[in-house]
A and B are shown apart, each in its own frame.
Chain A
Amino acid sequence: MARLPGRRGPRGIDVLETMPVSPWAGPMRWMLRLFGLAVLTFLYLPIAVMVLFSFQEGRSVTFPFRGPSLEWYEKALANQQLIAGLVNSIWVAIVVATLATIIGTMAAFGLVRSGVRFPNGIRIAVTMPIMLPGILLGLSLLIFLARAVGVPLSLWTVVLGHLLFTTPFVVLIVAARLSGFPRSLEWAAADLGASPVRTLRHIVLPLIAPAIVAGALIAVTLSIDEFIVTFFLIGPQSTLPLYIYTQIKFGVTPEVNAIATLILLGTLTVLGLGALIASGGRRLRRPREGAV
C-alpha cells in the first residue's frame, strides 16, 4: 500500500508511517506538488520577466533579449525627477515610521497595561483604518483637510494619511509581544528596587524591542510603497510610486524595470534585516503567536 513520506504529526509521533493510506495518495501527492510549483511560477514569472528586461538594450521590452546592459540603470539614476521622488518617499517613510512607532507603542501599552475599558472596542477602532480600502482613507482625509480645515496639501498631509494605515500594525505587533511575556519579570525588578522608569528601560523595552523594530520596518515598507493614499493627499511634490505611475500609465519602459529591480533589492534587504532582528529577539524568549 502507498505510504506518505515520513513526517512528524502534530504530537511529534510519526503517525503517517504507521498508517495505511488510500491508493489515491500517490497521484494526489504528485498533483499537489505540480500545483504548488505552478503557483510559485505564477507568483514569480512576472517578477522574473520584469527583472530580466531591466537589463535589455534599447527601448523595447520584448524577446529576443538583447543585453545584458546597464543602460537603463544609468538613465534611471541620472533622472532628476525620479531622484526627487525617491528622496520625498524616503523622507515620508522615515517621518511616518518614527511617528507610527512612537504612537503605536504608546497605544499598545495603553491597550494592554492600563486596564482600559472596552479593550476590544479600542482594538477594533484601531484596526478599522487598515481594514477599509485605501481609497476611502485618502478621499475622506482629503475632503476633511482641504474643505473643512483648509490645510494646503504637502508631504505633511501625506504623512498624516500614511500614519493611518501604518500605526495600527505597530499597535497590533507590539501589543501581542507585550501581552506575551510574564509581568512577574517587572514585579521582580520592582521588588529589587528598580523605579518604574528603570524597569521600563532595562526590562520591558529590551523585551519588546524586536516587535518595535518589526513594526517600524513594516511602517517603512508600507509607506514607501503606498500609492493611492499619497495620490489623494500630495501637494505639488511627487513620490517614487507617483512618478512610476505617471511613467507606466501610458505604457511600458525599461527604465521602470530598472527602478523596479532596484526597489525589489531594497525591499529584500529590509525584509532580511527585519527577519534577522526578529530572530535575534526570538532567541531571547519564544514570543507568543503574533509577535512576529
Chain B
Amino acid sequence: MTSEQRPRLRRQWPLLPIALLLVFCFFLPMALMVVYSFWTTDNAFRIVPEWTLKNYQRFFTNETYLRTFGKTLLMAALVTIVGIGLAIPYAWFLVRYTSRRTQRILLLLTIVPFWTSYLLRVYAWQAILGARGLLNETLMGLGVISEPSRVLVYNNNSVFLVLLYVYFPFAALAIYASLEKFDFTLLRAAQDLGAPPWRAFMRILLPLIKPGIVTAGIFVFIPVLGEYLTPTLVGGTEGVLISNLIYNFFRGAQIPAGAAPAFLIAAFVTVLLIVFRRYLRLEDVVSRG
C-alpha cells in the first residue's frame, strides 16, 4: 500500500464525475431542503430567509399530520413484519424442498416481478380491487352487491395489501440469500442436544440469518415510508400516507412546510442506515437481478 500512496490524488480523478453528481444533485439539494424547512413563506408564498421552528411546530401540533405520520410508520412496520414473516417460510421452501433446477426457476420467478414495472403492479391490483375493477364488477354481476364496494379498495387495507405485494420480492430475495448459506445440519445438532424445534429455530436459525432479515427489513421499511403512488392509486382519502401530505404542501407552494416532514423522513432513514449498516447486504439484493 505504501508504494501506492504517493500519487494517490492523481489516481483519484475517476471519482470526480460521481462526486460532482452527488454534491450538486444530492447533497446540496438535501441541504437546501433542510435549510428551507427552517425558513418561512410570506403571503405571496415566496420563501423568506427567516429562521424559525414554525414548520416543525405546526407539524407536531396538528393532529392530522401526526396521525398520518404515525400511520405511515405503523404501515411500514406492518408491511415489513408480515413481509419477512412470509419470506422466511417461502425462502425455506425454496432452499429445502425444491430441487436445484426448480429452485433456480422459482427464484427467477420471484425476481421477475421485482424488475417489472412498479406502476403496473400497483395498477394490476387497482384493476382487480377498484371501483370498476374485476372483483366489484363480478360481485355486482352476480347480484351479491348492488353498488361498488368501498371495502375492497380506497382504504388502509388495500394500501397494506398492495404494498405487501410490491415489496415481498425484496424481502424474499434478501432472506433467501441468507438462508441459502445456512447450514441446516446445525438445526439437527441443536435438536440432538435436546432443543425443541421451536427453540432451535429461534436460537440457531434466526441469529444466523439476521443479516438477511435486517436487509429485508431495511429494503421494505424505507421505501414504504416514502410511498406515494400506492396510497394515491388505491388508498383514497382514508389510505393517505405522509408522502401525500408532503406532496400537497409542495403543490400548495408551501415549500418550507413540506420540507419539514421530508427532512424528518430523511433523518429517520439516515439513523436507521447508520444503526444497521453492519448487517446491510446491498450486494445480495443487487446481484440477484
A: residues with CB less than 8 A from B are 4-5, 7, 9-10, 15, 19, 22, 24, 29, 32-33, 35-36, 39-40, 42-44, 46-47, 49-50, 53, 60-63, 102-104, 106-107, 109-111, 113-117, 122, 124-129, 131-137, 139-145, 147-148, 160-161, 163-164, 167, 169, 171-173, 176, 214, 218, 221, 225, 227-228, 241, 244-245, 248-249, 251-252, 256-257, 260, 263-264, 267-268, 271, 274, 289-292
Given A19-B188, A36-B97, A43-B110, also A50-B123 (CB < 8 A): yes
A35: chain B residues at CB < 8 Å are 89-90, 93
Residue of B nearest to A232 (CB): B250
Within the assembled complex, what's the spacing in Å between the Cα atoms of A256 and B86?
A: 31
Given A15-B185, A36-B93, also A136-B120 (CB < 8 A): no
Residue of A nearest to B263 (CB): A136
B131: chain A residues at CB < 8 Å are 251
> B203 at the A/B interface (Cβ < 8 Å)?
no
Contact of A260 among B123, B191, B197, B287 (CB under 8 A): B123
Give the shortest distance, in Å, between A282 (CB) and chain B (any CB): 12
Within the assembled complex, what's the spacing in Å between the Cα atoms of A256 and B12?
A: 48
Within the assembled complex, what's the spacing in Å between the Cα atoms of A291 and B119?
A: 28
B265: chain A residues at CB < 8 Å are 133, 136
**Is the Cβ of A176 less than 8 Å from the Cβ of B185?**
no
The residue among B32, B134, B165, B258 with the most chain A CB atoms within 10 A of its own CB is: B134
Band of interface residues on B = 35 or more
Within the assembled complex, what's the spacing in Å between the Cα atoms of A264 and B106?
A: 18
> B53 at the A/B interface (Cβ < 8 Å)?
no
When A and B form their complex, which 9 residue pairs have the shortest distance between CB atoms, in order from nearest? A133-B226, A62-B137, A110-B15, A290-B283, A144-B29, A46-B124, A140-B29, A36-B93, A106-B14
Given A107-B18, A115-B8, A227-B229, also A49-B222 (CB < 8 A): no
**Is the Cβ of B119 less than 8 Å from the Cβ of A241?**
yes
> B28 at the A/B interface (Cβ < 8 Å)?
yes
The residue among A139, A164, A214 with the most chain B CB atoms within 10 A of its own CB is: A139
Within the assembled complex, what's the spacing in Å between the Cα atoms of A292 and B136?
A: 43
Residue of A nearest to B164 (CB): A42
Residue of A nearest to B180 (CB): A10
B: residues with CB less than 8 A from A are 1, 4-5, 8, 11-18, 21-22, 25-26, 28-30, 32-33, 36, 47, 86, 89-90, 92-94, 96-99, 106, 109-110, 112-113, 115-121, 123-128, 130-134, 137-138, 141, 165, 168-169, 172, 181, 183-185, 188, 191, 197, 218, 222-223, 225-229, 232-233, 243, 246-247, 250, 255, 258-259, 262, 265-266, 269, 273, 277, 282-284, 286-287, 289
Within the assembled complex, what's the spacing in Å between the Cα atoms of A7 and B102?
A: 13
**Is the Cβ of A63 less than 8 Å from the Cβ of B134?**
yes
Residue of A nearest to B9 (CB): A114
Contact of B250 among A139, A144, A167 (CB under 8 A): A139
**Is the Cβ of A10 less than 8 Å from the Cβ of B183?**
yes
Give the shortest distance, in Å, between A103 (CB) and chain B (any CB): 4
**Is the Cβ of A33 less than 8 Å from the Cβ of B29?**
no
**16 A–B pairs (Cβ distance < 8 Å), ordered by A:** A7-B99, A46-B127, A49-B127, A50-B124, A103-B18, A110-B15, A124-B273, A124-B277, A131-B218, A135-B226, A136-B30, A139-B250, A140-B262, A248-B233, A251-B130, A271-B112
